[in-house]
């Protein structure tokens, strides 16, 4: 039998099979609850693995719905959500399981290992956060809320994908595409009735290309308007979601959703998060104002939101003599991937080998990950933009490293999805340096999952890691995409094979923190909006008013009134970041600190890097990241390193 499951789904029989698995699982729970002398081995472990196997069955469908979205995947996925949500809600509210876990925790305190203790600790917390201790009426209402929330989140995501897929802007006049990079022109160009035209869409490679290089201000505004007004029907979904989250939190004994969310995070309370964000805003603002003054000087006009990318590119060229398009021939997708593998081999001693298997799309690939010449995990990659694929970039875990009920080792697998420029028979996929950073970021998440040595699946890999620490490994790795010794491993011209010249590397490194304070302010705007939005119940126009009031503090260029950013904020309305978007910055304190530790020792001679592999990556969620970080660095994290990393004085 293969060590890795296939990403295959039978859409016709999926719902039937899902229902059968749930019936079987419910029977298993009843049987396990009848055990008189319950222990971790005979009770907790089978429940853990039951959850793992159901996830392995469900993940290929949710993955397919994200990367190969069709009417059929939409229908099956939407039909499966209420089934899986009802089942998982009932399980998480089962008072008998909750009591059994508490009894086992008390009885086996001395004989359990650290991983097993953590499994019980997190499960007991999750039972309490799911309302296992509540009366039946409250439990039933929580179940209804969870089902409705999952449906609404799915609708939010689908509305956004549909709006992105439906829009296109056709340019007939070649003057309007002057100055655009050749690779972007090739992707946009098509012929109609013998006339050459150019098609631009809201998919990231296409949208960014025109916003960065398109000279025609009216077209930039038209594209920007289309992008920030996508899926207006999501406004109603936001109202419903916020109302349901508020009701849920109050039922569970919390004053608001933010307090509920923090119960399972590193941050202690609302004040800690708000103080952290406000302090970063205060530290970034003066530099951001100076950066804006430079942009204004170049633009010679009052700047609008749809101007920033365009004039930023002009300023960047003037300031650093850097033209991003000159770099792209050096960042051919396959070369970057192989160079990243080489870097990881030198940093951690791990290696990747191509795996031959048929996947969901001809552009998707897979690799076996080896540690000390031993097969450790499998990595799947789907890196290019196409229609029917959700925008953005993410890592999904599929299998989790653990020991199963019989004591056999289950290996881990993970998938990285990005939306890089598509390759064709004529043109390779040439990345922007930002794309390279994105790939390193997602690889950081994947390594965190795949290199785990933990035996309990619920705290192995990315499982069990506090949400405000989960970005630590991804941000840590992305920082190396600017290091000269790392760049030289993969930045070679796809035609001449010339390594990226030192002069160009120097310019790239110097430009790393170009407009960084403005960028931080934008992230802090999102974080503050998300967190404050969940501290009390906002509805209708109050949501826009809240965002506008935060922008008074953070947005140095005022967005136009038609900008409805919130309707596309998938991270918090269709992902897991509600009241947790601040996590990106919270985790960046840890990642910046660890990164400087490695660089100061010399990247490939670093003891901290080897320690990071064993302490952080191999430990998964078996201990709180608070404890693991102190084990790694021998001290508390230093917040000043976050500002240092971003070049903020």
Q: Are residues 499 and 375 in the same domain?
A: yes
Chain-centroid distance, C-alpha 408: 31
| Percent residues over pLDDT 90 in the chain | 97
Q: In the prediction, which pLDDT does 428 show?
A: 94
User: pLDDT per residue over 370-422, tens digit each?
Assistant: 999 999 999 999 999 999 999 899 999 999 999 999 999 999 999 999 999 99
Quickly tell me which residue has 């998964």 as its tokens: 620
Q: Which residues contact 511 (CB under 8 A, 6 or more apart)?
A: 316, 319, 320, 322
Give dist(CA 583, CA 579) in Å, integer. 9
For the chain, give the number of residues: 649
Q: In the prediction, which pLDDT does 1 show?
A: 38
Q: Which residues contact 597 (CB under 8 A, 6 or more apart)?
A: 606, 608, 633
385 in Cβ contact with 203 (< 8 Å): yes
Chain-centroid distance, C-alpha 153: 16
Confidence of residue 426 (pLDDT cuts 50, 70, 90): confident
Confidence of residue 59 (pLDDT cuts 50, 70, 90): very high
Q: List the domain range (segments joined by +) for residue 199.
A: 167-228
Give dist(CA 367, CA 353) in Å, integer. 5
Average pLDDT on 34-60 reads 98
Q: Are residues 97 and 222 in the same domain?
A: no
Residue 397 forms beta bridges with which residues? 414
Quickly tell me which residue has 């970080």 as its tokens: 629
CATH number at residue 505: 1.10.1370.40
Q: Is 311 part of a structural domain of the chain? A: no
Give dist(CA 499, CA 634) in Å, integer. 38
Chain-centroid distance, C-alpha 373: 30
Q: Are residues 186 and 127 in the same domain?
A: no
User: pLDDT per residue over 571-626, tens digit each?
Assistant: 999 999 999 999 999 999 999 999 999 999 999 999 999 999 999 999 999 999 99
Q: Are residues 95 and 183 in the same domain?
A: no
Rounded to 10 deg, the angle between the 71-92 and 45-67 helix axes is 160
pLDDT at 2 over 80: no
pLDDT at 183 over 90: no
Give dist(CA 388, CA 361) in Å, integer. 12
Q: Is 568 exposed, middle or buried (0-12, 13-18, 19+ CB in 10 A)?
A: buried
Q: Are residues 126 and 191 in the same domain?
A: no
| H helix or E strand, kind and range, residue 86 | helix 71-92
Neighbours of 571 (CB within 10 A): 17
Q: Are residues 28 and 99 in the same domain?
A: yes
Q: Are residues 116 and 179 in the same domain?
A: no
Average pLDDT on 437-449 reads 98
Q: Which residues contact 13 (CB under 8 A, 6 or more apart)?
A: none
User: pLDDT per residue over 133-172, tens digit each?
Assistant: 999 999 999 999 999 999 999 999 999 999 999 999 999 9
User: pLDDT per residue over 511-528, tens digit each?
Assistant: 999 999 999 999 999 999
Q: Which residues contact 176 (CB under 8 A, 6 or more apart)?
A: 198, 214, 215, 216, 219
Q: What is the token pair recorded at 36?
A: 């008189």
pLDDT at 363 over 50: yes
Give dist(CA 638, CA 433) in Å, integer. 28
Nearest residue to 489 (alpha-carbon basis) of 606, 602, 347, 342? 342
Give dist(CA 629, CA 151) in Å, integer. 37
Q: Are residues 59 and 148 in the same domain?
A: yes
Neighbours of 590 (CB within 10 A): 29
Active-site residue, from 384, 442, 458, 525 = 442
Q: Are residues 215 and 122 in the same domain?
A: no
**Per-residue 3-state assignment (H helix, E strand, C coil) for 250-268:** HHCCCCCHHHHHHCCCCCC
Answer yes or no: 458 catalytic.
Answer: no
Q: Which residues contact 539 (CB under 8 A, 6 or more apart)?
A: 239, 242, 243
Give dist(CA 46, CA 57) in Å, integer. 17
Number of domains, the chain = 3
Q: Is 490 part of a structural domain of the chain? A: yes
Neighbours of 166 (CB within 10 A): 11
Phi, psi of 419 (to 5 degrees): -130, 65
Q: Is 583 part of a structural domain of the chain? A: no
Residue 351 forms beta bridges with which residues? 370
- Where does a domain end: 107, 140, 158? 158
Q: In the prediction, which pLDDT does 323 show?
A: 87
Give dist(CA 140, CA 90) in Å, integer. 9
Between the alpha carbon of residue 292 and those of residues 15, 212, 556, the distances in Å are 54, 17, 8
Q: Are residues 393 and 352 in the same domain?
A: yes
| H helix or E strand, kind and range, residue 594 | helix 583-601
Q: Is 608 part of a structural domain of the chain? A: no
Confidence of residue 27 (pLDDT cuts 50, 70, 90): very high
Between the alpha carbon of residue 320 and those of residues 351, 478, 510, the distances in Å are 36, 22, 7
436 in Cβ contact with 338 (< 8 Å): no
Q: Are residues 502 and 393 in the same domain?
A: yes
Q: In the prediction, which pLDDT does 649 show?
A: 77
Greatest CA separation found in the chain? 80
- Where does a domain end: 128, 158, 188? 158
Give dist(CA 514, CA 319) in Å, integer. 9
Q: How far apart are the two ends of the chain, measured CA to CA in Å?
A: 57
Q: What is the token pair recorded at 346?
A: 């030198």
Q: Are residues 184 and 151 in the same domain?
A: no
Between the alpha carbon of residue 151 and those of residues 148, 390, 453, 548, the distances in Å are 5, 17, 35, 29
Nearest residue to 329 (alpha-carbon basis) of 198, 477, 181? 181
Give dist(CA 125, CA 132) in Å, integer. 10
Q: Is 185 part of a structural domain of the chain? A: yes
Per-chain mean pLDDT for the chain = 96
Q: Is 259 part of a structural domain of the chain? A: no
Strands 402-403 and 394-397: unpaired
- Where does a domain end: 158, 183, 212? 158
Residue 368 forms beta bridges with which residues? 353, 378
Question: Greater confidence, 425 or 465?
Answer: 465
Q: Is 529 part of a structural domain of the chain? A: no
User: pLDDT per residue over 84-133, tens digit each?
Assistant: 999 999 999 999 999 999 999 999 999 999 999 999 999 999 999 999 99
Give dist(CA 70, CA 275) in Å, integer. 44
Q: Is 66 part of a structural domain of the chain? A: yes
């Amino acid at each position: 039998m293969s060590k890795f499951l296939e990403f295959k789904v039978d859409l016709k029989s999926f719902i039937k099979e899902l229902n059968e698995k749930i019936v079987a699982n419910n029977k298993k729970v009843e049987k396990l609850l009848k055990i008189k002398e319950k222990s971790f081995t005979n009770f907790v472990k089978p429940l853990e693995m039951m959850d793992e196997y159901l996830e392995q069955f469900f993940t290929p469908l949710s993955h397919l719905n994200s990367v190969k979205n069709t009417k059929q995947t939409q229908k099956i996925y939407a039909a499966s959500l209420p089934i899986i949500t009802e089942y998982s809600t009932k399980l998480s509210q089962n008072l008998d399981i909750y009591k059994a876990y508490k009894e086992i925790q008390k009885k086996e305190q001395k004989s359990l290992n650290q991983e097993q203790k953590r499994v019980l600790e997190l499960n007991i917390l999750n039972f309490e956060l799911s309302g296992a201790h509540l009366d039946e009426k409250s439990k039933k209402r929580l179940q209804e809320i969870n089902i409705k929330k999952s449906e609404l989140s799915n609708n939010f995501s689908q509305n956004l994908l549909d709006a992105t897929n439906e829009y296109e802007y056709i340019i007939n006049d070649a003057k309007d595409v002057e100055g655009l990079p050749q690779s972007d022109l090739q992707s946009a160009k098509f012929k109609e009735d013998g006339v050459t035209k150019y098609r631009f869409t809201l998919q990231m490679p296409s949208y960014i290309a025109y916003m960065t290089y398109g000279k025609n201000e009216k077209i930039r505004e038209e594209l920007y308007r289309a992008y920030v007004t996508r899926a207006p029907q999501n406004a109603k979904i936001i109202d419903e979601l916020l109302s349901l989250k508020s009701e849920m939190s109050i039922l569970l004994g919390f004053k608001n959703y933010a307090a509920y969310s923090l119960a399972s995070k590193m941050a202690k309370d609302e004040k800690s998060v708000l103080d952290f964000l406000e302090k970063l805003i205060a530290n970034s603002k003066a530099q951001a104002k100076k950066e804006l003054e430079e942009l204004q000087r170049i633009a010679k006009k009052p700047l609008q939101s749809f101007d920033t990318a365009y004039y930023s590119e002009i300023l960047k060229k003037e300031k650093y003599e850097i033209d991003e398009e000159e770099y792209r021939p050096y960042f051919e997708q396959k070369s970057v991937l192989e160079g990243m593998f080489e870097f990881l081999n030198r940093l951690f001693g791990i290696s990747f080998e191509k795996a031959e298997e048929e996947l969901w799309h001809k552009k998707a690939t897979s690799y076996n990950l080896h540690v000390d010449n031993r097969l450790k995990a499998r990595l799947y990659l789907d890196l290019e933009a196409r229609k029917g694929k959700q925008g953005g970039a993410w890592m999904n875990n599929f299998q989790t490293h653990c020991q199963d009920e019989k004591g056999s080792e289950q290996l881990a697998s993970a998938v990285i999805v990005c939306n890089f420029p598509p390759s064709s028979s004529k043109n390779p996929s040439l990345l922007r340096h930002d794309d390279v950073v994105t790939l390193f970021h997602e690889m950081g998440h994947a390594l965190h999952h795949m290199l785990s040595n933990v035996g309990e699946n619920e705290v192995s890999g990315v499982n069990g890691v506090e949400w405000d620490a989960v970005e630590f490994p991804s941000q840590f790795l992305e920082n190396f995409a600017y290091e000269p010794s790392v760049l030289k491993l993969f930045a070679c011209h796809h035609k001449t094979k010339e390594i990226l010249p030192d002069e160009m590397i120097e310019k790239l490194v110097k430009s790393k923190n170009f407009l960084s304070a403005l960028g931080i302010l934008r992230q802090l705007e999102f974080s503050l909006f998300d967190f404050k939005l969940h501290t009390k119940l906002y509805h209708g126009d109050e949501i826009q008013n809240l965002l506008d009031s935060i922008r008074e503090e953070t947005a140095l260029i005022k967005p136009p009134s038609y900008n409805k950013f919130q309707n596309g904020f998938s991270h918090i309305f269709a992902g897991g970041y509600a009241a947790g978007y601040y996590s990106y910055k919270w985790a960046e304190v840890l990642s910046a600190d660890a990164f400087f530790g490695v660089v100061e020792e010399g990247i490939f001679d670093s003891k901290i890097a080897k320690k990071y592999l064993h302490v952080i990556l191999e430990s998964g969620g078996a201990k709180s990241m608070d404890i693991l970080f102190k084990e790694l660095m021998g001290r508390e994290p230093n917040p000043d390193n976050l500002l240092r990393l971003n070049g903020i004085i």
